[in-house]
A and B are shown apart, each in its own frame.
Chain A
Amino acid sequence: MGDPLEMIQIDLPEIDRDALLARIQENMRSHNLVDPPSFPVFEVMSSSRRAASHTSASSSLEFDLQQAHEAYTQTWVTMPPLTSRLPLVGRIKQAFHRLVLYYVNLLASQQMVVNAAILRVLNRLVAAPDADLAALQDEIATLRARVAQLEASAKEDVP
């Protein structure tokens, strides 16, 4: 750990800053605060953030696609069970609740299959222009080389 003197700035002339920061150090020893394993970082957790650094229409498309990827499985319904002060009524309500959730989530799981299929199609559609673009760029490079070759040979033919 660095020096708290460097970390905290208090500009109050009436306060003995050194004494205050010494108290912080003393309290840190007595409180012995526990660190978590390691804090996740926003940038690391969403690695696609850095990739989407351009502002063209395709970045909006990537963003929406990413949102769709994150959301398509979130159709499950979970709710706290219904309760009652009367035990028998409580059990009946819970059984009814489970039954409703079973059928709702059955429908949700079928919806997820549909969502996944739609997303696969979208992924292919998004990827297709990139593949086409790469092929076109290759073709342009080949044609440029051919033009350069022809220009060179034309110069050689000039008497």
Chain B
Amino acid sequence: MSHIRAIHQMLGNAGPGNSISAGARLLRNALREWGYASELYAETVAPASAWKDARHFSRYRPTPDDVLILHYTQASALSDFVRTLPCPLILIYHNVTPAHFFIGVNPDVLATTQRGLTELSTFRERVVLAIADSAFNCRDLLAAGYPQTTVVPIIVPETLSQTPPDPAVTATLAESVNLLCVGRIAPNKRCEDVIKVLYYYRQIEPAARLFLVGHTEYTGPYVAWLREFVAWLGLEDAVTFTGHIPDAALAAYYRHAAAFVYMSEHEGFGIPLVESMRFGVPVLAYAAAAIPETLDGAGILVREKHFPVVAEMLHLLQTDTGLRAQVVERQFARARDFAPATILAQLRKQIEGVLLSLGE
């Protein structure tokens, strides 16, 4: 029998719109149901009232009965703090975006991502279990010397797909064929390639528009260049950078999307893929990093970025209702693999297994 009474989580940001913190919140609730004391500690806590239950990490006081779960995405003051704590650690590795994508884009992010990968190994002595949310991410853990690793997908809450869509946003989407790409606007996402797809697709479907939904902070020069690129192609009226938006607005974009186009070249998992599959939006995604693994045969993979071919594939998805229905049906089946209850059961098995070994 284990002596562990509390399992707390440490994460970079806690707040609405942050996918890791939304999953961590579900895990915290589950840990409490499983009989452990459990709190969320974060480096940045959103001021929204709904998130007052997450605390700043400096308020954490370790006890001998604690195990900590560290959600790791980059080196930070939080990871430095956790390194000083005596508790056994469970590391959940969500991937560090390779630093080279941020050269000349943001020196601070460049530095934290560079440190992120080099410092990944520094927790090794205290980590009792290292979890990667994809087999792709697991490679980094193995390279960092973690002997005991396992793969459990990230928890993607189902609340978004149950959120009523914002009627004001819905009203703006009725007349057009809407392509959607969701995620932080960053160089690794290759948003310019999604814009290129739109450029060709508009020659087939002039009513097509593209919505790039996601944070534009931290990557200013890239976003500015993208805007210039859009203007250079004469697509100012067809491309919208929404910035970060509330869930109701995001639900509206998903509900009225003709397709989800993802040309990202580095994804540790690809949460928007799961969201698209849940909303029944056909996915066209570049086969890079963890994307093929997350889709696992669902959606349509782009093996080579030949944009006219991708545009024609989009056209077929729009005009061939039978094809579209089959793609969406396969996606729904894949999305069920990521049901939070399923993922939580996998996590429970892993966590309690390791706690038993600690008790011995």
A: residues with CB less than 8 A from B are: 1-2, 4, 6-12, 14-15, 20, 23-24, 27-28, 31, 33-36, 39-40, 42, 45-46, 48-53, 55, 59-60, 62-63, 66-67, 70
Verify if B106 is at the interface (C-beta below 8 Å from A). Answer: yes
Q: Which residue of A is nearest B196, CB measured? A: A39
Residues on A with C-beta less than 8 A from B41 are none
Expressed in whole angstroms, the Cα–Cα distance for A39 and B105 within the complex equals 20
The 5 closest A-B pairs by CB, nearest first: A49-B104, A11-B297, A9-B301, A55-B111, A7-B304
User: Which of A2, A27, A51 has the most chain B CB within a 10 Å cutoff?
Assistant: A27
The answer to whether A12 and B302 have CB atoms under 8 Å apart is no
* 11 residue pairs A–B, Cβ–Cβ below 8 Å: A6-B303, A7-B303, A8-B300, A28-B308, A31-B315, A42-B187, A45-B228, A46-B104, A46-B221, A49-B103, A67-B220
Expressed in whole angstroms, the Cα–Cα distance for A78 and B104 within the complex equals 29
* Chain B, interface residues (CB within 8 Å), range: 35 or more
Residues on B with C-beta less than 8 A from A15 are 323, 326
Partner of A52, one of B107, B229, B287, B323: B107
The 0/1 profile, CB within 8 Å of A marked 1, for residues 100-117 of chain B is 100111111011001000
The answer to whether A27 and B104 have CB atoms under 8 Å apart is no
From residue A14, how far is it (CB to closest CB) to chain B in Å? 6
In the complex with contacts A28-B309, A49-B104, A59-B110, A7-B323 CB distance below 8 A: no
In the complex with contacts A23-B316, A24-B316, A42-B187, A8-B309 CB distance below 8 A: yes
From residue A150, how far is it (CB to closest CB) to chain B in Å? 42
Verify if B43 is at the interface (C-beta below 8 Å from A). Answer: no
Interface SS majority for chain B? helix
Expressed in whole angstroms, the Cα–Cα distance for A45 and B224 within the complex equals 12
The answer to whether B105 and A49 have CB atoms under 8 Å apart is yes
From residue A23, how far is it (CB to closest CB) to chain B in Å? 6
The answer to whether A4 and B309 have CB atoms under 8 Å apart is yes
A/B pair count, beta carbons within 8 Å = 111
From residue B234, how far is it (CB to closest CB) to chain A in Å? 9
Expressed in whole angstroms, the Cα–Cα distance for A23 and B316 within the complex equals 8
The 0/1 profile, CB within 8 Å of A marked 1, for residues 129-150 of chain B is 0000000000000000000000
Expressed in whole angstroms, the Cα–Cα distance for A50 and B111 within the complex equals 15
Q: Which residue of B is nearest A55, CB measured? A: B111
The answer to whether B316 and A12 have CB atoms under 8 Å apart is no
Expressed in whole angstroms, the Cα–Cα distance for A39 and B220 within the complex equals 21
Residues on B with C-beta less than 8 A from A27 are 204, 312, 315-316
In the complex with contacts A24-B316, A53-B103, A67-B220, A33-B200 CB distance below 8 A: yes
User: Which of B107, B229, B298 has the most chain A CB within a 10 Å cutoff?
Assistant: B107
Verify if B60 is at the interface (C-beta below 8 Å from A). Answer: no
Q: Which residue of B is nearest A53, CB measured? A: B103
Partner of A48, one of B104, B315, B326: B104
The answer to whether B204 and A31 have CB atoms under 8 Å apart is yes
Partner of B203, one of A31, A45, A60, A67: A31
From residue B103, how far is it (CB to closest CB) to chain A in Å? 5
Verify if B233 is at the interface (C-beta below 8 Å from A). Answer: yes
Given contacts A24-B316, A59-B110, 17 further A-B contacts (CB under 8 A): A4-B312, A7-B304, A8-B309, A9-B287, A9-B300, A12-B330, A15-B323, A23-B316, A24-B313, A27-B204, A28-B312, A33-B308, A39-B192, A45-B225, A52-B107, A60-B108, A67-B221
The 0/1 profile, CB within 8 Å of A marked 1, for residues 287-299 of chain B is 1000000000110
Q: Which residue of A is nearest B191, CB measured? A: A42
Verify if B306 is at the interface (C-beta below 8 Å from A). Answer: yes
CB interface residues, B 174-211, toward A, < 8 Å: 187, 192, 196, 199-200, 203-204
The answer to whether B309 and A55 have CB atoms under 8 Å apart is no
The 0/1 profile, CB within 8 Å of A marked 1, for residues 303-339 of chain B is 1101011111101100000010011001000000000
